[in-house]
Amino acid sequence: MITLSCEINKVPVTVILDSGANCNVIGGGVVNEVGLKIDDTSDTKIHNPISVFDVLGVIHEIEISILSQGPKWKHVKITDNFVSNEPQLEFVLLLGQPWFQENAMKLDIPNKTLTLLDGTNIPLVIVRENKPPTQGNESVDNYFEMIKVYATVLGIDLDNQDLKGTFFDGLSLDNKKEAIRFGVKRSLNEIVKHLNRISSGFTDIEKFQFGSLKQGNDSIIDFYRKLKKYYKLLGNDEERHLKNHFIRGLSRDNQLEAGRCGLDLPLDELVARLNTLTITTNMSNKKIPASMQHNLSIKEKCLKNVFIAGLNSNNQLLAEKYGKDLPLEELVKLLIRNEISIERDPPPPYPP
């Protein structure tokens, strides 16, 4: 907090300098104590990064006395002062950007000096005992705005390493962990941007990059297609990495099935087998007439007919042409090879 020695009507007043504030504010307690009168009542609100303050009114002009080097008292006018009854401002005069534009030439924090337009030097008092903010239940954005205000009060910029440490110390536990994972040596703005992205949720392609994309409610085929699409977008070309991503992202049950099928299988073959297992399981959970329950060949035929009936028109044509005499599992493999090898030469369909 940056302050200076000030009097109004020979009454000492606490002054805070804030070049980032867009207006001058005087507390209602100060107005009453020094005998000022409000010129115009107002329902205006003062917006700061954290909250909104109600305004009681406006005092168009106040003459203050500031102690300059010498020491001598320098008389300065403040125009358009908003009167607030907020507790934190009740006994404070806050000089914001309008006052700096009208009166100040240079703010020299290292030398604790404010130079007015006429060359008068005003000694400053810099108080660094302000309690730093903490995130609590606030969003990352709101907490960052609190940190900005804190930095302004201390007269430091956002690149200050101590400020970054203060920001980190005040984060919630989960966000501290995320900041560590991301890298605490990065700039404060980068960390904030990352935490905001985390809180809003990663996109699927970002999850893929971090190896955390899960199958969820996707079918085996849809999940495989999604992975392969992102794999190509990111310029990868090794099937081994794609296979690892695929297995890692499968549901627990499908991971177990993949292990039973054989993790050394080519990826296309593994996808085909898992998809066939899923279809078979889903169909077997449906009721089958009693006359078919003891006849596996009839059951297989029933499953195959139901499967073909649910295909799109293109796959139905392929199934009728190439898979009429194939077992269901082999037919599924054929169709999968046809879809995932669409860009290969010779063109599909491919024989089983």
| Chain segment 155-171, per-residue pLDDT in tens | 778 888 888 989 999 99
Maximum mean pLDDT: which of 49-58, 248-257, 283-292, 343-352: 248-257
Per-residue model confidence as pLDDT tens digits over 299-334:
566 677 777 777 777 777 777 777 667 777 777 877
**Residue tagged 């009167």 (tokens):** 83
Per-residue model confidence as pLDDT tens digits over 206-248:
655 555 678 888 889 888 888 888 777 766 656 667 888 888 8
Q: Is residue 132 part of a domain?
A: no
Of 258, 285, 312, the last residue of a domain is 285
Cα–Cα distance measured from residue 271 to residue 279, given in angstroms and rounded to the nearest whole number = 12
Of 268, 285, 302, the last residue of a domain is 285
- Cα 315 off chain centre by: 43
Per-residue model confidence as pLDDT tens digits over 117-144:
999 999 988 765 567 889 988 888 889 9
pLDDT of res. 50: 40
Cα–Cα distance measured from residue 141 to residue 125, given in angstroms and rounded to the nearest whole number = 30
Q: What rounded mean pLDDT belongs to the chain? A: 80
The whole domain housing 62 covers 2-126
Give yes or no: residues 191 and 246 share one domain. no
Of 242, 265, 285, the last residue of a domain is 285
Give yes or no: residues 9 and 109 share one domain. yes
Q: Is residue 104 part of a domain?
A: yes
Q: What are the φ and ψ backbone dihedral angles of 105, each rounded to 5 degrees?
A: -105, -35
pLDDT of res. 351: 47
pLDDT of res. 348: 46
Q: Is residue 48 part of a domain?
A: yes
Q: How confident is the model at residue 174 (pLDDT cuts 50, 70, 90)?
A: confident
Q: Is residue 233 part of a domain?
A: yes
Per-residue model confidence as pLDDT tens digits over 64-116:
999 998 778 999 999 999 998 877 678 889 999 899 999 988 988 888 899 99
- Between 228 and 32, the more confident residue is 32
pLDDT of res. 75: 92
pLDDT of res. 218: 86
**Residue tagged 């010498």 (tokens):** 70
Q: Is residue 134 part of a domain?
A: no
Give yes or no: residues 310 and 330 share one domain. yes
Give yes or no: residues 51 and 122 share one domain. yes
Q: Is the pLDDT of residue 32 over 90?
A: yes
For the CA atoms of the chain, what is the radius of gyration?
36
Give yes or no: residues 266 and 226 share one domain. yes
Give yes or no: residues 342 and 227 share one domain. no
Q: Is the pLDDT of residue 200 over 70?
A: no
Report the domain count for the chain.
4
Maximum mean pLDDT: which of 8-12, 16-20, 340-344: 8-12
Q: Is residue 37 part of a domain?
A: yes
Residue 104 maps to which CATH number?
2.40.70.10
Give yes or no: residues 110 and 37 share one domain. yes
Give yes or no: residues 86 and 22 share one domain. yes
Q: What type of residue sits at position 242?
A: L
Q: Is residue 181 part of a domain?
A: yes
- Of 249-253, 265-269, 287-291, the poorest mean pLDDT is in 287-291
Q: Is the pLDDT of residue 10 over 70?
A: yes
Give yes or no: residues 43 and 117 share one domain. yes
Cα–Cα distance measured from residue 144 to residue 167, given in angstroms and rounded to the nearest whole number = 8
Q: Is residue 135 part of a domain?
A: no
Cβ-proximal residues to 189 (8 Å cutoff; 6+ apart), any chain: 158
Q: What is the dihedral of CA 256, 262, 267, 270, to 10 degrees?
A: -60
Give yes or no: residues 57 and 82 share one domain. yes
DSSP conformational letter for 43: -
Give yes or no: residues 212 and 246 share one domain. yes
Give yes or no: residues 60 and 172 share one domain. no
